[in-house]
């Protein structure tokens, strides 16, 4: 059995300022250290339970911190193979229009998505991408707004809040040791209960409405999550943003 950790930076424990997530900021290295420590804690908990292989995938294709490129944690290669695997969504942020959220965003500032009559963010996209491949989701983590969003999109999965937004740009974080202890405890409890391993398959066809930053809406209909990711990235590029999902479509 393998565990794939799908990670994002903004929701990691200890990342208290939004500007730390900017590679040009002096505290970016500190944010990457927090990222690495959260990933390492989850990896060690999984190995203690008997998971043989740990793979790491950054949700936006960031370079993985060098300290994590060891024999214990391997980069996930796309397309994902057919080996039996489980997944964790670690350090995700809430959707762009979420209230009382730290670093809220859905792919591009000002963009929002409605899916199945519900507001959807990157948590919905990632969980359905995994579900389409039949991969059970064990755990999600982020700020309190992210765990509230999880009640809409991953309601059968344990969600751990590691911080509370004081503004979109600043969060009050749990002490890192407490946050990581909570992640470890939650993962070990879920691993012990197969009935808590949940697969979130997308609706068919996938039909979403995207509201654009400059105004207006577009309806996207796709037969797969990979097709949806390509369509979303085209919209993001047209709106002046940097595409971040199409690279996943190789799977």
Instruction: Walk along the chain (251 residues) and give the pLDDT tens digit of each residue.
Output: 899 999 999 999 999 999 999 999 999 999 999 999 999 999 999 999 999 999 999 998 887 777 776 668 888 888 887 778 999 999 999 999 999 999 999 999 999 999 999 999 999 999 999 999 999 999 999 999 999 999 999 999 999 999 999 999 999 999 999 999 999 999 999 999 999 999 999 999 999 999 999 889 999 999 999 999 999 999 999 988 888 888 887 64
Global confidence as pTM:
0.94
Q: CA dist 125 to 64, 143, 224, Å?
A: 21, 18, 11
Q: What is residue 126's predicted lDDT score, i.e. its pLDDT?
A: 97
Closest CA to 220 of 247, 250, 245: 245
91/77 Cα distance (integer angstroms): 20
pLDDT value of position 71: 66
In angstroms, rounded to a whole number, what is the distance separating the alpha carbons of residues 141 and 11? 7
pLDDT at position 246 is: 83
Token representation of residue 64: 């993985």
Any idea what the Cα angle at residue 62 is, between residues 60 and 68, rounded to 5°?
A: 125
Supply 3's token pair: 């565990």
pLDDT for 69:
62
């Amino acid at each position: 059995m393998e565990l794939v950790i799908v990670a994002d930076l903004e929701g990691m424990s200890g990342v208290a300022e939004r500007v730390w997530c900017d590679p040009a900021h002096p505290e970016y290295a500190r944010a990457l250290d927090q990222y690495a420590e959260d990933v390492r804690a989850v990896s060690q908990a999984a190995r203690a339970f008997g998971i043989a292989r740990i793979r790491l995938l950054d949700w936006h294709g960031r370079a993985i911190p060098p300290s994590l490129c060891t024999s214990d944690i391997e980069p996930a290669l796309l397309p994902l193979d057919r080996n039996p695997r489980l997944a964790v969504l670690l350090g995700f942020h809430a959707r762009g229009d979420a209230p009382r959220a730290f670093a809220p965003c859905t792919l591009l500032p000002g963009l929002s998505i409605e899916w199945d009559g519900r507001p959807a963010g990157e948590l919905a996209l990632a969980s359905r991408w995994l579900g389409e491949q039949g991969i059970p989701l064990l755990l999600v983590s982020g700020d309190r707004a992210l765990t509230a969003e999880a009640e809409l999109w991953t309601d059968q999965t344990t969600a751990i809040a590691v911080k509370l937004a004081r503004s979109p740009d600043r969060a009050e974080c749990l002490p890192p040791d407490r946050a990581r202890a909570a992640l470890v405890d939650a993962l070990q409890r879920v691993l012990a209960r197969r009935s808590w391993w949940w697969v979130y398959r997308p609706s068919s066809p996938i039909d979403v409405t995207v509201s654009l930053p400059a105004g207006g809406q577009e309806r996207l209909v796709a037969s797969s999550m990979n097709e949806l990711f390509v369509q979303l990235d085209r919209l993001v590029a047209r709106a002046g943003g940097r595409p971040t999902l199409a690279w996943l479509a190789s799977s």
